[in-house]
Amino acid sequence: MNWGTVINKPGEAEAKPPAPEPRPKLPAWSYSRFAKWSKCPLSAYYAFILKMPEPASEAMERGTRLHAEAASILNGIPDKRNELSVPWAARLEATRSCYSSDVETELQIAFRLDWTQTDWFAKDAWCRVIFDAMIVQPGTGVVMVQEHKSGKPRAEHTQQATLYAAAAAALVPNRAVEVTINYLDLNPEGPQGVVRHHFPADLALKQTFAWAERVQPMMNDTDYPATPGNHCRWCSFAASKGGPCEKA
């Protein structure tokens, strides 16, 4: 007797496996979550729903050190430079000297769905943004945001700048937003060392609507399909690296 066989009566439709149970939706998002989901929703499921750990790479750890050194200088704290170049240290010191107490570093802001501010760990937090540095001077019509990055410019950094514009517009309304991306591995006086994105007040506000629409598919996702590609080579969830994903 074959206990594993289902025999259908003549004319009876073949038995179909039950539909998979829907997976939980993401409760909140950030740019890093959106970037991971955009490359492969399944990796986002592993990382943010199942909360499976991902070992930090040497490049990530170095980037963290660069961020810490940059923040130290902008906060006026004596810095022991290990990674940051002398030209970049001088540039950041000049920024601190120019704007003094108007510089806020590592500013963590959480927003509700309507882009009003809430607590970082609040249940109604919908979007979380960390500004590496924000400069808001009284009496000016511009909010200045600085993002520090290691490595070289990438196309997705421009998209990330639009999120900073949206968050700044929600936080400080009716001002233009200037997002400056500082590439700390490059010469600040070179052609790619500093990249600026300027958003007039009305364009910055439009980014809030654009991002709400852009992330809607991610926030409604209950399937998290795998999308194999070149990015699988670096994914810690790939089976080749001992992870659970067999489709990488």
R_g (Cα) of the chain, nearest Å: 23
Structure tokens at 190: 């070179």
Structure tokens at 64: 């963290």
In the chain, what are the domain boundaries?
31-218+228-234
The end-to-end CA distance of the chain, in Å, is 39
Cβ atoms within 10 Å, residue 143: 26
d(CA 137, CA 133): 13
Q: What is the pTM of this model?
A: 0.89
Q: Are strands 176-183 and 142-149 parallel, antiparallel or unpaired?
A: parallel
Dihedral class, residue 106 (left if φ above 0, else alpha if ψ from -120 to 50, else beta): left
Structure tokens at 71: 């923040």
pLDDT at residue number 10: 55
Which run of H or of E encompasses 135? strand 127-136
Q: Are the C-beta atoms of residues 87 and 189 closer than 8 Å to each other?
A: yes
CATH topology of domain 31-218+228-234: Lambda Exonuclease; Chain A (3.90.320)
Structure tokens at 134: 């924000």
What are the 10-residue block averages of pLDDT along the chain, 248 residues in total? 48 62 94 97 97 89 93 87 90 94 96 98 98 93 96 95 98 97 96 96 98 98 96 91 88
CA 30 to chain centre: 5
pLDDT at residue number 81: 75
pLDDT at residue number 122: 98
